[in-house]
Amino acid sequence: MVVLAMKPFHALFLTGGSDLNGSNCVVQAPRGIYSQIPGSKGKLVRVPQGTVFDVAADLRCSSCKFHKHAPVEITGENGQMLRIPEGFGHAFLALSRVVGFTSRVTDFSSAPAARAIAWNQPGLFIPRPIGNSEAIVSEKNSRGLRIADAEVSA
């Protein structure tokens, strides 16, 4: 897990095809832990405006770090970026009313390959800045699976 500060945003993703994504964020609306199987891809996350609680979780069942996670707060002010390696899941939560959220991925997204784990999965022990009662959970994110039932990377 690498947190990058002051690195060119595109420098790690110059080879092969890559996709630039953006998200509309609602404060206190957690996004589940998303990954792609098959077709795992790396990601570089940036928040040019606002504040986000961001988490990368190792979903590679062959890894000695399986189910370990790295939470980080990324803001427009601190200028940090989070690199999420292939085989990891990614979740985030907007902590400010206005958030600009972008990610550069190493390959194009595939809707049929998308997998989601519930944002409040107790088996991962991710410290959350808000509780279940404060969360505004979308219909899509309410369908996230338990970690025990989720398909993971090899």
Per-residue confidence of the chain (154 residues) as pLDDT tens digits?
444 443 444 454 444 556 667 776 788 888 888 888 877 788 999 999 999 999 999 999 899 998 888 899 999 999 999 999 999 999 999 999 989 888 888 887 788 888 888 888 777 778 888 888 888 888 888 888 888 888 887 7
CA-to-CA separations, 122 to 17, 83, 125, 126, 132, in angstroms, rounded: 35, 24, 5, 8, 11
Percent helix / strand / coil, the chain, rounded to 5 = 10, 40, 50
pLDDT of residue 7: 42
Tokens in use for 113? 């390959």
Domain ranges of the chain: 2-149
CA-to-CA separations, 65 to 1, 6, 123, in angstroms, rounded: 11, 27, 14
| CA atoms of 11 and 18, how far apart (whole Å) | 12
Assigned CATH for 2-149: 2.60.120.10
